[in-house]
Amino acid sequence: MILTVIYCCVYATVIVPAFVANGLEVDLPSSPTVGLKSDPRPELDQQLVPEIKQQNGQSRSIAVFPTSSEKAVGPENITQDDLDLRQTFDLTNEQRQAGQPSQWLSKIFSDAMWNFVPHSKSKSKCNLQARLYQQHLSNNTHWAIRMLDASLIVPSGIIAGAGQQFGHPDQCIHTRVPLPDFRTKYCLPSAQFSPYKDLYTDFYNKRTQDWPPYDMKKNVWDFLRPRDQLIRFTRHSFSWGLCIPESCSAEDIQTSLNDTLSRAFAKHQIHIQVNLTELQCYSVSEEKMCLVCTDSSILSGYCSSLSTKK
Tens of pLDDT along 157-214? Answer: 887 777 788 999 999 999 999 999 999 999 999 999 988 888 877 777 766 656 667 7
Least trusted range by pLDDT, from 4-13, 43-52, 91-100, 132-141: 43-52
Task: Round to whole Å and give the CA distance between 11 and 19.
Answer: 11
Determine the pLDDT at residue 6: 58
| Complete edge-to-edge strand list for the sheet that includes strand 237-240 | 164-165, 237-240, 190-195, 270-275
Strand partners, 61: 51
- Rounded to 5 degrees, φ, ψ at 289 are -140, 130
Q: What is the pLDDT of residue 132?
A: 96
pLDDT band at 83 (very low <50, low <70, confident <90, very high): low
Ranges of each domain in the chain: 1-34, 41-98, 105-305
User: How far is residue 146's CA from residue 168's CA, in Å, rounded to a whole number?
Assistant: 10
In this predicted structure, what is the pLDDT of residue 215?
A: 74
Cβ burial of 202 (10 Å; 0-12, 13-18, 19+) is middle
Give dist(CA 144, CA 33) in Å, integer: 51
Length of the chain: 310
- What is the percent of the chain with per-residue pLDDT over 90, rounded to a whole number? 35
Question: Rounded to whole angstroms, how far apart are CA atoms 177 and 144?
Answer: 8
Cβ neighbours around 122 below 10 Å, total: 9
CB 256, CB 268: distance < 8 Å: no
Residue 235: what pLDDT?
78
Residue 21 CA to its chain's centroid (Å): 56
* pLDDT number for residue 237: 85
Check residues 5 and 173 and name the one with the higher pLDDT: 173
Using 50, 70 and 90 to split pLDDT, how confident is the model at 35? very low
Strand partners, 191: 238, 274
**CA 79 to chain CA centroid, nearest Å:** 30
Give the CA distances from residue 260 to residues 50, 137, 266, in Å, rounded to whole numbers and listed in that order. 42, 18, 10
- Cα 251 to chain centroid, rounded: 25
CB 160 within 8 A of CB 224: no
Q: What is the reported pTM?
A: 0.59
| Better pLDDT: 153 or 6 | 153
242 phi, psi to nearest 5 deg: -140, 130
**Is 116 exposed, middle or buried, given 0-12, 13-18 or 19+ CB atoms closer than 10 A?**
buried
Q: What is the pLDDT of residue 11?
A: 54
User: Is the pLDDT reported for residue 238 higher than 50?
Assistant: yes
CA within 13 Å, CB half, 202: 9
